[in-house]
Structure 1
Amino acid sequence: MKIKEIIVVEGKDDTTAIKRAVDADTIETNGSAIDEGIIEQIRLAQQTRGVIIFTDPDFPGEKIRKTITNEVAGCKHAFLSKEEARPKNGKGIGVEHASVKAIQEALEAVKEEMEAYVSDITFDDLINAGLIGGTDAKLRREKLGLHLKIGYTNGKQLHKRLQMFQITKEQFLHAMDVILEEEQAQ
């Protein structure tokens, strides 16, 4: 599988994992303190070939994703679940630990960032679905992010991410139906 866009990852081990799974070029941020030189490389990549941000499903990875999104418009996003990014020994989390299949599936399900989209999903919809507040809210957000392939977010960022990836109310409600059916089956 050949990827036209340049994939932004956190480090060398992530590049190695990506190259095991697909034929692609990468830019490494080398941590969450991204300097202006790296941002300029990402801007150039976005102008010439496009960019896919593929960071670890943890706080530093989300910080990198947010920094790049704020600086470079129109990036695409690939996400792994925490389970897919966890090594067999259970220590750590990262793209470098994901299987070839998980990486390929994440890249096939890339989401494109869109501007000026107003979702018909309201904040009240999120509260009523048990995604904000309550004992199971975090778990439900994790399941929703996995089902919609938009990654995990906290309650505050969920509405923004649903808009950013133009998730329709129909897609949202379908995903919630699946999640609620799974919960009832347990």
Structure 2
Amino acid sequence: MIKEIIVVEGKDDTVAIKRAVEAETIETGGSAINADIIRRIRLAQERRGVIVFTDPDHAGERIRKIIAREVPGAKHAFLTQQAATSKGDIGVENASVTAIREALANVRTDQPAGESQISWDDLLEAGLIVHPQAAARRLAIGNRLGIGYCNGKQFYNRCRAFQITRDEFEAALQELERATDEEAQS
């Protein structure tokens, strides 16, 4: 059983989580997260800890940001959009048991943003900002690092908050470059 309580968006997400692991959930009721839900999440964080596991879409990211701001120290699990998509619908409820277990095995802890090993210049040099393919590159690197997709500023902030090391960053970048080279050769 997972010790922490997993925060999801809705009932279908709870069903998917319980198919994959033994855990308790708190449902936010979608993107309309209210003060009562935040109070429940804070209490859960104090007593057992929480893992935020929202959909890899705009609404899920909005909920994740609200919880990260209101509940310091929350852990985060991320699914790729590909792993969470079925018939054009994106959501945790669409992910396979394996994908859910992998996401929960690679949980990241939101830390107070300290000194980052990754600089804004690193993002620029890696083509993650101010580059014609920046969004696609951030998506690929974010998936490899387990921090999900976000815009350039949020990517930088997540590297800081999740304390991504230079080694992790460079390994993910090399993996992306290899995949890009292989794709160009085929």
2:110 partner letter? E
Paired residue for 2:108, among 98, 108, 111? 111
Which residue does the alignment assign to 2:125? 128
Determine if the alignment matches structure 1 residue 32 to structure 2 residue 31: yes
Gaps of 5+ in 2: none
Contact 2:113 2:157 in 1 (8 A): no
What amino acid sits opposite 2:53 in the alignment?
F
* Overall identity of the aligned pairs, in %: 55
Please say if 1:72 is aligned against 2:88. no
- Note the alpha carbon deviations across 1:117-174, whole angstroms, 9 max, x for none: 2112110110110001222111111111111111111112110000010001121111
Q: Distance in 2 between matches of 1:36 and 1:76?
A: 20
User: Corresponding residue for 1:161?
Assistant: 158
Matched with 1:42 is 41
Question: Which range is displaced more, 112-121 or 69-78?
Answer: 112-121
Equivalence for 1:91: 88
**Which amino acid counterpart does residue 24 of structure 1 have in structure 2?**
A
Pick which of 171-180 and 18-27 moved more. 171-180
Residue 5 of structure 1 aligns with which residue? Answer: 4
CA contact (8 A) 2:128 2:135 kept: yes
Contact 2:56 2:80 in 1 (8 A): yes
CA contact under 8 A between 2:117 and 2:164: conserved in structure 1? no
The DSSP-based 3-state class of the residue aligned with 1:84 is coil
Q: Deviations over 1:45-76 (max 9, x none)?
A: 00000000000000000000000111011000
| Per-residue deviation, 1:116 | 4.2
TM-score, normalised by the number of residues in structure 2: 0.96
Which ranges of 4 or more aligned residues in structure 1 deviate by more than 6 Å? Answer: none
Bigger Cα displacement from structure 2, 157-166 vs 109-118: 109-118
Paired residues in the alignment total 183
- Asked if the contact 2:142–2:149 (Cα under 8 Å) also holds between the matched residues in 1, the reply is yes
CA distance in 2, matches of 1:177, 1:185: 12
Q: 2:99 aligns with which of 81, 99, 102?
A: 102
Report the Cα distance in structure 1 between the residues aligned to 2:100 and 2:170, rounded to whole angstroms. Answer: 27
Confirm or deny that 1:56 pairs with 2:26: no
Q: Distance in 1 between matches of 2:117 and 2:12?
A: 40
CA separation in 1, counterparts of 2:106 and 2:145?
Answer: 9
Paired amino acid for 2:3 = K
What is the match of residue 172 of structure 1? 169
